[in-house]
Amino acid sequence: MSQDIKKIVDDMPNIPSMPSIVLNLLDQLNAPEPDLIKLSAIISKDLSLTVQLLKLVNSAYFSLSSRVNNITQAAVLLGLNRVRDLVIGSAIKPMVVTICGKNLWEHSIRCAVGAELIAKKLNNDRNEEAFIAGLLHDIGKIILELYNDKFVKEVHNRVLLGDERIKTEKRLFGFAHTEIGKLLISKWNLPNDIGEHVKFHHNPIQSSNKLITSYVYVADRLGQETLMYPIIDPEISENLDFEISDPVSLREEIFAASQPIIDSFSDKTSSGVLVKAK
Ligand SMILES: [Fe+2]
Ligand SMILES: [Fe+2]
């Protein structure tokens, strides 16, 4: 089966590719000694990406004490990994919004912010890994939508009636958004760890990187537009290495913390950034 679904990802003509600027950036970051000047130069060539990144970096989410006006400064203050993750976010936003809609995009941001928040509350310094895993967790849904949008609607209706999502997707499509999402992550040459979180975000206990996948699982559940009960599956809850004592308050915190990022990614807000297209 996994061979078959790999073929689906490989053969689908309309699957979006990662923009070359992101691939270029990942190449540079994977170099033994990433060069900050080169990286900034790659990003700065793309004006709209630069504006978008500066908007994000200056958003309330990062609460930096001074205003950042260029990419080099952003990379120094936030670190290269964070800049990379925001570039990936900027690259996938149009795909997610165009193919699956704004709700999935906003849910993905909440999952990213939520997973990072949980990591920080538990003093886990892999908070950036949690953020990018949360951002990409449902990326497989773009393939489901491109493959058969009628099945997507049917899954949606069946889930509303109480059916289990993964089982329903497997029954209709022959695969779920989790496993196909992992394949898309590897097709895009993003790190394997991210693929593992994507594959197991509905059942984190099976993940080889259980802790971070569990943060994504909880953030996914809390980041739903409409809360579904039980919020955390009792069987999964028993096997988590942490406890969420007040999920409803945590959900409110996640929604509030996500808003600055959602606004910064939205075209409606004014950036206040001193860069303007001629
Ligand atoms: Fe999901
Ligand atoms: Fe989700």
Residue 92 belongs to a domain: yes
Residue 86 belongs to a domain: yes
Ligand that comes closest to the CA of residue 221: 2
Looking at residue 272, its pLDDT comes to 44
- pLDDT > 80? residue 275: no
- pLDDT above 70 covers a percentage of the chain that reads 95
Q: Separation of 42 CA from ligand 2 center, angstroms?
A: 32
Q: Separation of 199 CA from ligand 1 center, angstroms?
A: 9
Q: What is the mean predicted confidence (pLDDT) over 106-122?
A: 98
Q: Separation of 107 CA from ligand 2 center, angstroms?
A: 7
Cα–Cα nearest to 86, from 112, 123, 120, 117: 112
Residue 88 belongs to a domain: yes
Residue 166 belongs to a domain: yes
- pLDDT > 90? residue 31: no
The more confident residue out of 217 and 162 is 217
Span 178-214, pLDDT tens digits: 999 999 999 998 999 999 999 999 999 999 999 999 9
> What's the domain count of the chain?
1
Q: CA–CA separation, 70 vs 11, rounded Å?
A: 40
Ligand that comes closest to the CA of residue 106: 2
pTM: predicted TM-score of the whole model, two decimal places: 0.93
- pLDDT > 70? residue 274: no
Q: Separation of 144 CA from ligand 2 center, angstroms?
A: 14
Q: Separation of 179 CA from ligand 1 center, angstroms?
A: 10
Look up the domain containing 164 and give its range: 2-265
**What CATH number should be reported for the domain holding residue 188?**
1.10.3210.10
Residues in the chain: 278
Q: Separation of 219 CA from ligand 1 center, angstroms?
A: 11
- pLDDT above 90 covers a percentage of the chain that reads 80
Looking at residue 276, its pLDDT comes to 44
Residue 211 belongs to a domain: yes
Looking at residue 4, its pLDDT comes to 86
Residue 70 belongs to a domain: yes
Residue 276 belongs to a domain: no
The two structure tokens encoding residue 272: 């206040």
Report the mean per-residue pLDDT for the chain: 92
Q: Separation of 265 CA from ligand 2 center, angstroms?
A: 19
- pLDDT > 80? residue 267: no
Residue 256 belongs to a domain: yes
